[in-house]
Amino acid sequence: MQELVSSLPSPIDYAALGDRLRAYRMGASLLAEDVAARLGVSRAAVYRMEKGEIIKIETLERLAPLLGTSVASLLGVEVEYYSTALGFLERMRQLEQDSERILAHFEPISLLLTSGEYLDHLRIMLVEAASSSASPEAGPGEHQVDEMLRVLHERKAAFARRAPHIVSLIGLRDLERFVYTGLVGRLDLPQAVRRERVAAARREVERIAELMESESLQVQIGLVDDAMPAATFQVFGGSRRSTLAVSPFRFGELPNVRNGIATVTASPEAVKLYEEMIARLWKGAYKGQAGAARLREMLARMQ
C-alpha cells in the first residue's frame, strides 16, 4: 500500500508552480538571493523551486506573504493576481512559451505584432510617463523599465521563433486615438517631438495594414468598429489547458504600468466566456483586404 500511494501522480503541477514563483518574485522586485536569505536557504535552492522542484507546503506558507500573494494563488487553484506590470509580463512570457494558439486584444495593438522600433519608443514613453506624475517615486524606476523591456524583447523573439497561431482583435477607435496622440508618455512635449511620435504611430498602423493584406494563417487580425472592452486580455491555448489573462496595464500612447491589478486564471468558465466574446467580435470585424483598406482610409483622413 505504501508503494502504491507513493507511485500515484501528484495533483500539483510543480513546473507551473515554479513559473508562478518566479513571476511573483519579479513582481515583488526581489532577487533570488533576497528570497533565499528570508527563507534561510541557498540561492540555488530558490532556483530549483522555480525550475519545478517539489516544495513543502510549509515553504509555500512562508513564501506567499513574502511574495505578496496566497498559497492558493501559488498553487494555481484560484485566480492569480499581479499588482505590478513586471510580474504580469513575466507570467505572460511563461504562458506564451507553451501556447499553440493566442487570442488577444491589447490596446491599441498586441505588442507581439508591433515593429522592431516600437519597444525603443516604449522605453522613452514609460520614462516620460513616470516623469510627468505628481509622485514619480510611486512608479517604476529606469531599472524596472529596463526589466520590463527585457521581458518584452524575450516575448517578441519567442513569438517570432515559435510562430504560434494568433488571432488579434484591434479596436478602430483605439487606433484613431493612438494615431492622433502619437507614441508619447505625456502630452506637454515640443511640437517637433509630437510630430515625430505621430509619424511613428502611423508606421505601426501601416504595418498592421500590411499584415492584414498578407492574410497569413499564422497571424489573423480583426478590426472592430465598435467599443472594445475596457481591459485588455489574452487567451492562451495549450496542449494541456487554456488560460486567461486580463490586464489594466497599457503600452500604447500615454501608457500605464503603475496602477491596476492584472489577473490570470485557468477557470473553464472564465475562458469559455472570453472565447465566446472573442468569437462574437471576430464575426463582425473587418478582416484581410477590407480591414487594410479601412486602416488606410483612417490614415488618409487623419493627415
Q: What is the pLDDT of residues 118-145, one digit of tens each?
A: 999 999 999 999 887 655 555 677 889 9
What CATH number is attached to the domain comprising 35? 1.10.260.40
For residue 209, the model assigns a pLDDT of 97
- Would you say residue 279 has pLDDT above 90? yes
Pure H helices in the chain: 2-7, 14-27, 32-39, 43-50, 57-67, 71-75, 85-97, 118-131, 142-162, 172-181, 191-214, 268-283, 288-301
- Say how far apart CA 15 and CA 53 lie, in whole Å: 7
Per DSSP bridges, beta strands 262-265 and 242-247 are antiparallel
Tens digits of per-residue pLDDT, 142-178?
A: 889 999 999 999 999 999 999 999 999 999 999 999 9
The C-alpha cell at 73 is: 494563488
Number of domains in the chain: 2
Place 3 in a pLDDT band, splitting at 50, 70 and 90: very low
The CATH number covering residue 185 comes to 3.30.870.10
CA dihedral over 170, 174, 176, 177, signed as positive or negative: negative
Evaluate if residue 8 carries a pLDDT over 60.
Answer: no
Sequential DSSP letters for 256-273: B-SS--EEEE--HHHHHH
- Is residue 51 located within the same domain as residue 174? no
In single-letter form, the type of residue at position 52 comes to G
Region at 252 (left for phi over 0; alpha for psi -120 to 50; beta for the rest): beta
pTM of this prediction exceeds 0.85: no
Amino acid at 85: A
- Residue with the three cell numbers 526589466: 147
Of the pLDDT bands very low, low, confident and very high (cuts 50, 70, 90), residue 102 is: very high
- Same-domain check for residues 24 and 88: no
**Rounded distance between C-alpha atoms, residue 87 and residue 276, angstroms:** 28
What is the rounded distance in angstroms from the CA atom of residue 293 to the CA atom of residue 138?
43
Which bin fits 260, alpha (ψ -120 to 50), beta or left (φ > 0)? left
In a domain, 5, yes or no: no
At which of 38, 60, 76 does a domain end? 76
3-state secondary structure of 275: helix
Find the domain containing 62 and state its range: 11-76
Q: Do 145 and 109 have their domain in common?
A: yes
Where among 39, 60, 76 does a domain terminate?
76
Average pLDDT over the chain reads 91
Q: Are residues 186 and 112 part of one domain?
A: yes
pLDDT in tens, 22-53: 999 999 999 999 999 999 999 999 999 999 99
Evaluate whether residue 1 is within a structural domain. Answer: no
Burial class (CB in 10 A: 0-12, 13-18, 19+), 258: middle
Q: Which of 72-76, 217-221, 240-244, 276-280 has the lowest mean pLDDT?
A: 72-76
- Residue 240 pLDDT greater than 70, yes or no: yes
Which triple of cell numbers denotes residue 265?
486564471
Task: Tell whether 160 and 265 lie within a shared domain.
Answer: yes
| Domain contains 3 | no
Contact 247, 262 (CB under 8 A): yes
Within-domain flag for 176: yes
Q: Per-residue pLDDT averaged across 6-16, rounded?
A: 69
Query: How many residues are listed for the chain in this entry?
Result: 303
Instruction: Out of 31, 49, 76, pick the residue that ends a domain.
Output: 76
For residue 6, tell me if it sits in a domain: no
User: Do residue 98 and residue 24 come from a single domain?
Assistant: no
pLDDT at 62 over 80: yes
